[in-house]
Structure 1
Amino acid sequence: MRIKLAAMSSAAFLLATGLAFAQGAWVEVDDDDMAVNIPVDPPTYTVGDLDDMEIVGQDGEEIGDVDEILASGDGSSMAVVTDVGGFLGIGQRNVVIPLTDARIHNDKIIINMTKDQIESLDEWSK
């Protein structure tokens, strides 16, 4: 499903929600040119810029790479999907990581959670 949110500015993505989103609250964003609002200099990144970007936990441990970018149904929040757990691709599962309090530094998304916290998130399925 292609979502066009051209009318929304990056300021509309307040990212002020908690982690308690049900899977049904998120929709995949396919518009690579849509702006996202994550603290970074320069301040404008697009959905396409986040695709495959490395995700790092608050403790500096690598979590994974961005597989999908999601937006809440009302467009007020964004999240990313990544694979966690498993070994050599076996037993991995997809989880949704809300971008609440996230930031970008050196082309990496820094999440305000540890790897263990992220691995305990509920599994995501389309």
Structure 2
Amino acid sequence: MDHANHPRLTPDEMTEAVLTGAQIYGPAGESIGTIAHTHGTGPEQGVVVDVGGFLGIGAKPVMVPLRDLDMMRDENGEVHGLTRYSKDELKALPEHRHG
């Protein structure tokens, strides 16, 4: 998938409603997870990405700064993001726990 021509999300679009469920792709174009939910707003906003697993089973939730993701829409308007991290690098992060 060529992401170069996909329009990037504006800061106003970086909301939980828009970002939740977005597919995240790694540096080699591989699908590495989906955004489960967000924390905070603005420059320090974080997103919890469910990494790996199948249909949400066995996925590991990890917190990633939103600034580390390149969020955009594809030709169909579907929101997705790119990260420089590989699936293994994200899986090595501490598991995000609620509370």
User: Shared fold (TM-score greater than 0.5)?
Assistant: yes
- The reply on whether 1:122 has 2:94 as its aligned counterpart is yes
Does the 8 Å CA contact 2:32/2:52 hold for their aligned counterparts?
A: no
Q: Residue by residue, what CA displacement relative to the aligned partner does 1:38-97 show, whole Å, maximum 9, x if unpaired? A: x8165641411111111111221111111111127xx53112112224456554321112
Count the aligned residue pairs: 86
Matching residue of 2:46? 79
C-alpha distance in 2 between matches for 1:90 and 1:51: 17
2:88 partner letter: D
1:51 partner letter: T
C-alpha distance in 2 between matches for 1:125 and 1:93: 10
Farther-moved stretch of structure 1 (114-123 vs 43-52): 43-52
Larger Rg over CA atoms:
1
Cα gap change, 1:62/1:78 in structure 2, threshold over 3 Å: closer, same or farther? same
In terms of fraction of residues, the more strand-rich structure is 2
- The reply on whether 1:111 has 2:83 as its aligned counterpart is yes
Matching residue of 1:45? 13
Matching residue of 1:98? 65
- The reply on whether 1:63 has 2:32 as its aligned counterpart is yes
Higher RCO (C-alpha under 8 Å, 6+ residues apart): 2
Q: What is the root-mean-square deviation in Å for CA atoms of aligned residues?
A: 2.6
- Where do 5+ consecutive residues of structure 2 fail to align? 1-6
1:68 partner letter: H
C-alpha distance in 2 between matches for 1:53 and 1:94: 14
TM-score normalised over the length of structure 1: 0.55
Does the 8 Å CA contact 1:64/1:83 hold for their aligned counterparts?
A: yes
What percent identity do the matched residue pairs reach? 34
Matching residue of 1:19? none
